């Protein structure tokens, strides 16, 4: 793990009305991170990533390394939970991807031909180039999630944050989706929220447990005991179509042989 911290979170607390969603969080994200965020429903996973994105009132400090700053914006790509995305907005799939070109925002700016070519290329990479002109209200949840990934990566961020990115993606594309995310992880730090430890473990290098408090675990394998210590009760799901190479090469250095993975080979 690199020692270069790109996001530093100190004494972060976030409350909604009278509910404290996050309490006194201290956490660092590194430039070569590939971390999974897990935790129970309502545990504060989305709150944590929204706080990083600067869209919530909070106590405490969140600071970013110089390498993440680009003019007045941050080189962070963010894919929200699809349920947080308003699909009544009358824009096309191509426009969703284009809207990730942050510096072009504002109605006086027009997208150039090369912006549009880049957006089409990105859609093509995610297998939805043929949907470019479709209004977002007329595509499936999974197709929208692919478009939202395009929007998140189109400006080549240094940090990519994904909030439950595959909830609506069909099984066939889910494998492809994770393959792309893994490829992206060679070029940028990735923080991915999932409620599914099985999937996360096979991909990521570290795990962050979030249940009002936050614990960082610098390995992709967690024991039941560790989950308990982290106050992180989660549901274990099974996934048969995800590669488990990371687990296959794990030599059990101090980790009990009972891993929390249920998958069919
Ligand atoms: P997760 O993403 O882990 O499911 P969230 O971060 O969405 O959890 O929510 C954490 C807690 O904050 C939950 O109790 C949720 O009900 C509450 N919460 C989230 N968003 C809001 C909001 N906009 N207004 C009030 N409470 C909220
Ligand atoms: Mg959430």
Query: What are the pLDDT digits (tens) for 21-66?
Result: 999 999 999 999 999 999 999 999 999 999 999 999 999 999 999 9
For residue 115, count CB atoms less than 10 angstroms from its CB and return exposed for 0-12, middle for 13-18, buried for 19 or more: middle
| Residue of 23, 38, 39, 46 best suited for mutating to test ligand 1, as the one with most atoms within 8 Å of CB | 46
The Cα 255–Cα 246 span in angstroms is 14
Residue 252: DSSP 8-state? -
Q: Which residues pair with 218 in a beta bridge?
A: none
Ligand number, closest to the Cα atom of 81: 2
Q: Which residues line ligand 1 (CB under 6 A)?
A: 16, 19, 21, 39, 41-47
| pLDDT level of residue 253 (50, 70, 90 thresholds) | very low
Q: Which of 134-143, 224-233, 235-244 ranks highest by mean pLDDT?
A: 134-143
How many A from CA of 47 to the centre of ligand 2? 7
| Residue of 42, 53, 232 best suited for mutating to test ligand 1, as the one with most atoms within 8 Å of CB | 42
Specify the higher pLDDT residue, 255 or 161: 161
How many A from CA of 143 to the centre of ligand 2? 19
pLDDT above 90: percentage of residues in the chain: 63
pLDDT average, residue stretch 113-118? 94
Answer for the pair 159, 106: CB distance below 8 angstroms, yes or no.
no
Ligand 1: which residue has its CA nearest to atom 1? 42
> pTM of the prediction?
0.86
How many A from CA of 83 to the centre of ligand 2? 9
- pLDDT of 190-201, one tens digit each? 999 997 778 788
How many A from CA of 166 to the centre of ligand 2? 13
pLDDT of residue 168: 83
For residue 232, count CB atoms less than 10 angstroms from its CB and return exposed for 0-12, middle for 13-18, buried for 19 or more: buried
Answer for the pair 90, 40: CB distance below 8 angstroms, yes or no.
no
Ligand 1: which residue has its CA nearest to atom 14? 42
The Cα 197–Cα 219 span in angstroms is 12
Residue 133 has pLDDT above 90, yes or no: yes
Ligand number, closest to the Cα atom of 18: 1
pLDDT above 70: percentage of residues in the chain: 85
| Residue of 13, 16, 200 best suited for mutating to test ligand 1, as the one with most atoms within 8 Å of CB | 16
How many A from CA of 194 to the centre of ligand 1? 15
The Cα 34–Cα 202 span in angstroms is 11
Provide the mean pLDDT of the chain.
85
Coil/strand/helix, residue 224: helix
| pLDDT level of residue 244 (50, 70, 90 thresholds) | very low
DSSP string, 29-79: EETT-EEEEE--TTSSHHHHHHHHTT-S--EEEEEE-GGGEETTEE-EEEE
pLDDT of residue 31: 97
Ligand 1: which residue has its CA nearest to atom 13? 42
The Cα 100–Cα 83 span in angstroms is 19
User: Which of 122, 47, 210, 252 has its CA nearest to residue 114?
Assistant: 122
Residue 129 has pLDDT above 80, yes or no: yes
- DSSP 3-state helix, strand, coil percentages of the chain (rounded to 5)? 30, 25, 45
Q: Mark out the alpha helices in the chain (DSSP H runs).
A: 45-52, 93-98, 113-125, 141-153, 171-184, 197-203, 224-229, 245-248
Looking at the CA of residue 40, tell me the nearest atom of ligand 1. Answer: 3
Residue 156 has pLDDT above 90, yes or no: yes
| pLDDT level of residue 105 (50, 70, 90 thresholds) | low
Looking at the CA of residue 164, tell me the nearest atom of ligand 1. Answer: 2
pLDDT of residue 108: 58
User: Which of 75, 66, 51, 48 has its CA nearest to residue 160?
Assistant: 75
Ligand 1: which residue has its CA nearest to atom 22? 16
């Amino acid at each position: 793990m690199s020692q270069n911290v790109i996001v530093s979170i100190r004494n972060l607390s976030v409350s909604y009305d009278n509910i404290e969603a996050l309490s006194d969080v201290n956490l660092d994200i590194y430039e070569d991170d590939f971390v999974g965020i897990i935790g129970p429903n309502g545990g504060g996973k989305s709150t944590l990533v929204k706080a990083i994105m600067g869209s919530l009132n909070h106590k405490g400090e969140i600071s970013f390394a110089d390498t993440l700053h680009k003019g007045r914006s941050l080189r962070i790509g963010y894919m929200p939970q699809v349920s947080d995305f308003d699909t009544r907005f009358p824009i096309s799939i191509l426009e969703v991807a284009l809207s990730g070109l942050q510096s072009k925002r504002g109605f006086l700016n027009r997208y150039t031909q090369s912006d549009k070519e880049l957006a089409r290329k990105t859609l093509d990479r995610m297998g939805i180039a043929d949907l470019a002109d479709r209004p977002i209200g007329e595509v499936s949840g999974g197709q929208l999630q692919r478009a939202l990934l395009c929007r998140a990566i189109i400006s080549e961020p240094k940090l990519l944050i994904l909030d439950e990115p595959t909830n609506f993606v069909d099984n066939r594309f889910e494998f492809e989706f994770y393959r792309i995310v893994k490829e992206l992880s060679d070029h940028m730090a990735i923080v991915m929220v999932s409620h599914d430890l099985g999937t996360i473990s096979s991909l990521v290098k570290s795990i962050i447990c979030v249940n009002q408090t936050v614990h960082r675990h610098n390995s992709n394998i967690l024991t039941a005991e560790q989950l308990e210590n982290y106050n992180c009760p989660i549901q274990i799901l099974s996934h048969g179509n995800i590669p488990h190479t990371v687990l296959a090469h794990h030599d059990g250095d101090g980790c009990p042989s009972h891993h929390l993975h249920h998958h069919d080979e």
